[in-house]
Amino acid sequence: MKNVVVVGSQWGDEGKGKIVDWLSSEADVVIRFQGGHNAGHTLVIDGKIYKLRLLPSGIVRKNKISIIGNGVVVDPWALIDEIEEIKKKGVEISEQNLFLSESATLILPIHSELDALREDNAKNPKIGTTRRGIGPAYEDKVGRRSIRVIDLLSEKNLDSRLKILLDHHNSLRKGMGKDKYDKNKLKEDLLKIAPKILKYSKPIWKKIEEFKKSNKKILFEGAQGILLDVDHGTYPFVTSSNTVASSAATGTGCGVDTINYILGITKAYTTRVGEGPFPTELKNQIGEELGQRGKEFGTVTSRKRRCGWFDGVLVKQTIKTSGINGIALTKLDVLDEFDEIKVCIAYDLNGKQIDYLPASSEQQFEVKPIYKTFKGWKTSTSGVKNFNDLPKNAQNYISFIEEFVEAKVSSVSTSPERKDTILIEDPFKA
């Protein structure tokens, strides 16, 4: 059996929740390794809807271990609220089935405040953040001044760490004309929530080693998508962490040899939330139809997603940068009623044809898609569970994508329901 990493191969919102839930039925351990409560997964199980933000998707299944790794930035109040919310739906959560890395960085109220101040500053270009403090928390982590889960263990240590943190933030706030942040109030709030958080705290790297030795199947669950990676995405319109598959190792404390298969969740068309370049965006009736049929609204923010045709250039690029072995193609049924469907196969950059997305943000806005057009199938694919039962034009569309992006299509999703999945290759056994 293999350990599997699941990542989004586009800008996020590819339908990872359903696929991760489907895979978690096979896995023993499910681990989140980056991001924060800015990314959500929606699971539909037996008609019941679960909206998860920080909790790994395995939490809704019995006899599974769920882990929040050191690469995740954690708002402790948001985490406790989410735990209580999911418990009310009949899910058992305890320190026996939920582990939190003692090295994880905490998101504090000062981070979300700074996030909003920057986003609302008319002098700054909007990035389109969720204003949940993710970026500022990662900044403090890299700046070696963050508060980590383990810092809640000692009041003396916490006081010292908060002084270092607020020396930095209060200088920023002064420059923005804002009052100093009250250290004592923040410390009091953190000490109050500390027991609720610390009971889940573990040395995650050590637990993973134990799981490996006992041949447990591990599923690493990414948030957002590779095109939002801080190094490999559409910078600066990106998140503040590495969303590529290799961060599953650094975000949990295991060796890269722990990873055996990388599955890229890939929507049959393209969407993105927030600002930034989007070469195949459709600002027309077709784009509206994609959004309506695909119910394209964010799980966490409810923001309307921008929609466009499948961008094969971008997906091929993310497959290379993340080492994706196979893709899970989702939301195929959303395309059922179109007369024709397009796939971007190259870009035109000021009269020159190129086969990749340039690193320059300016050029990313300038590229124009070059399309290959396919006939639609005008037949419902909803609920189809066998590849050969798909309309021939749908089969042709999938086969072209597989060949163009140079990665096997391992499954095809034909509705939000977990059972409506065409399995071609099991990542745990491939």
Structure tokens that stand for 114 in this block: 């700074």
- Which residues are annotated as catalytic? 13, 41
The 8 Å CB, 24+ separation contacts for 88-96 are 89/48, 89/50, 91/50, 91/59, 91/60, 92/62, 93/55, 93/59, 95/199, 95/200
In sign, the C-alpha dihedral spanning 231, 234, 235, 238 is negative
C-alpha–C-alpha distance, residues 47 and 62, integer Å? 17
C-alpha–C-alpha distance, residues 208 and 258, integer Å? 9
End-to-end Cα distance, the chain:
9
Structure tokens that stand for 399 in this block: 């086969």
**Count of Cβ atoms closer than 10 Å to residue 418 Cβ:** 17
C-alpha–C-alpha distance, residues 162 and 190, integer Å? 10
C-alpha–C-alpha distance, residues 61 and 89, integer Å? 12
C-alpha–C-alpha distance, residues 265 and 243, integer Å? 13
- In a 3-state reduction of DSSP, which class is residue 125? coil
The 8 Å CB, 24+ separation contacts for 60-64 are 60/21, 60/86, 60/91, 61/21, 61/24, 61/25, 62/92, 64/24, 64/27, 64/28, 64/29, 64/30, 64/97
Give 330's strand partners: 267
The residue assigned the tokens 């189809």 is 384
303, 71, 359, 256: CA torsion to nearest 10: -130
The residue assigned the tokens 């406790």 is 80
**Contact yes or no for 350/44 (Cβ under 8 A):** no
C-alpha–C-alpha distance, residues 2 and 14, integer Å? 23
